[in-house]
Amino acid sequence: MSGDIFETAGGGPGLNFGEREAEALVKALASGESTSIPVSITAGDGFALKLEDLQKTLVNVSFTEEEFQFFRRITKEGAQQTVTQYSRVVSHGDDWGSGVIAEDETPEDGSSAFERVAELIRYFGVKGGVTLPMAMSQTIEGEAMGIETSERTLDILRKVEKAMWYGDNTLDSKQMNGLRALMLAKTSSDLIIDLRGRLLNREDITGAVAKCGSEPFFGRPNEAHMNLEVLEGFMRSLYPKERIGLPAPNAGGELGLNVERLRTSRGVVNLVPSVFINDQLPSAPTVAVGTASKRPATPTITTGATRFAAPQAGSKWTVDDAGDYLWSVAAANRYGRSLAVNANVGGLALAVVAGDRVDIVVSGGVGPDPMWYEFYRTQKGGTTAYLVRRIPAVAAGGATTYVDKNEYLPKCSSVFLIENRPQAIAIRQLGPMMRILLAVTGPVFNFMLLLFMVLLLKAPNKHVLFLNAGHPTLSS
């Protein structure tokens, strides 16, 4: 390249651009792709300044507010006290006699039955904060305090959604009873159906609706909440594999079946998938979580898994269940959970046969006392242990005995067939979610997000609970 004078677009004289200038330009253009300063600088190495990419960089790889199906769909009612009360009609009169009378006879007295119910408001809260320098900085994602408030809102709603399904006041007196605990305690046993690990099908739902809708329950379930994998198994059961009905409808080249509603004898039931319904799906934790100074220590196995031979009262171990199993246990409280430890004698699998039961005795470790223990068990012949039961811990870390009669199966979950109407189920809130700024004692702006509420199962026998719904085998 020579040192000719270039012309501008307008035809006038431009930059005097010679070989030295061209070499400098090539050096700048080829200065590399690294965004870090070189560890060692060599002669002729030109590490150029890089312009920052100003595109949005905040990507959500977790859940969004759309996942809070239960909290979003359920009716919210106001509460004026920390103890909320309501009345319900138990019966409209005695269900006997024909009601007919003689011409000159006085009818029998009629008497309705009412029940007064009181529930304690429960308190949920999370804390957030932003430092002063961060609040003053310009971030690509937006204003720092706004982002932190949004993140903490998702955090508290996740905790609330989980509590609405699985909260259990017997584990921690401060917990709110969730729907599963409420139904196990109050719903008629006729409306609690154990699937024993098989896939949910259409007849399960239509039959349960018919049973719940009959006398003496008179329910009208209109929503079935379930794990997404359970819904996948349900949809697979509705069509034969690799077959379609002919003539096939014009679906624009789409293949598959998405079922959102199911028509039954008592009306339409909406099928609602939830990522937070996962009773017996979590695997045994390999690391502790929560505040180290407040969470319980790793538990001590006082007596490893011990088999008591059949026949054992209430045992649900069947011939098909006979095989080798491993158990693990973790200690937990409201501040965190320990890692799980093997609860088998010598760490070796234990053989179980039909009619048996298995006992495990566990004690608290050195540190904060556990509020409850989480027990995990493998599937028959398996190596991965899944959550099967949570039980209250004996006070002061004393010896706690878990009796496994195979009531709950690993890698299964519940299905909640509910009548989602205000007279059957609702939330009572002592005001909406609130954000309270904390006192500034340093260059940090801290705040709390608070929500005071309780779940009310007003009509326990207008809902159906399926236990141990199986999950289909999904390709990896």
Question: Tokens 């209250």, residue?
Answer: 392
Tokens standing for residue 50: 């890089």
Q: What is the mean pLDDT of the chain?
A: 87
78-90 pLDDT, tens per residue? 999 999 998 888 7
Q: Give the pLDDT band of residue 227 (cuts 50, 70, 90).
A: very high
State the average pLDDT over residues 294-302. 96
* pLDDT tops 80 at residue 22: no
pLDDT at 319: 97
CB 402 within 8 A of CB 389: yes
CB 365 within 8 A of CB 300: yes
Rounded Cα gap, residues 288 and 64, in angstroms: 26
Q: What is the SS3 assignment for 435?
A: strand
Closest to 328 in 3D by CA, of 379, 243, 385, 290: 385
Q: Give the pLDDT band of residue 238 (cuts 50, 70, 90).
A: confident
Closest to 339 in 3D by CA, of 393, 382, 379, 295: 295
Rounded Cα gap, residues 375 and 328, in angstroms: 6
CB 217 within 8 A of CB 460: no
Tokens standing for residue 329: 């246990």
Alpha-carbon distances, residue 344 vs 301, 329, 375, 376 (angstroms) = 9, 10, 12, 11
Least confident window among 255-264, 266-275, 330-339, 355-364: 255-264
Exposed, middle or buried by CB within 10 Å (0-12, 13-18, 19+), for 359? middle
Of the chain, the percentage scoring pLDDT greater than 90 comes to: 67
Closest to 93 in 3D by CA, of 122, 120, 113, 116: 113
CB 265 within 8 A of CB 209: yes
pLDDT at 16: 57
Q: Residue 155 phi/psi, 5° resolution? A: -65, -50
* pLDDT tops 80 at residue 17: no
State the average pLDDT over residues 21-50. 57
* pLDDT tops 80 at residue 144: yes
pLDDT at 346: 95
244-297 pLDDT, tens per residue? 554 555 556 666 778 899 999 999 999 999 999 999 889 999 999 999 999 999
pTM: 0.84
State the average pLDDT over residues 159-169. 97
Alpha-carbon distances, residue 325 vs 344, 377, 385, 410, 470 (angstroms) = 9, 7, 9, 11, 19
Instruction: Report the 10 Å Cβ neighbour count for 388.
Output: 22
Respond yes or no on whether the N-terminal peptide bond of residue 249 is cis (omega within 30° of 0): no
Least confident window among 73-82, 243-252, 352-361: 243-252
Least confident window among 8-22, 139-153, 270-284, 303-317: 8-22
The partner residues of 127 in beta bridges, in order of sequence, read: 448
The DSSP letter of residue 248 is P
pLDDT at 240: 64
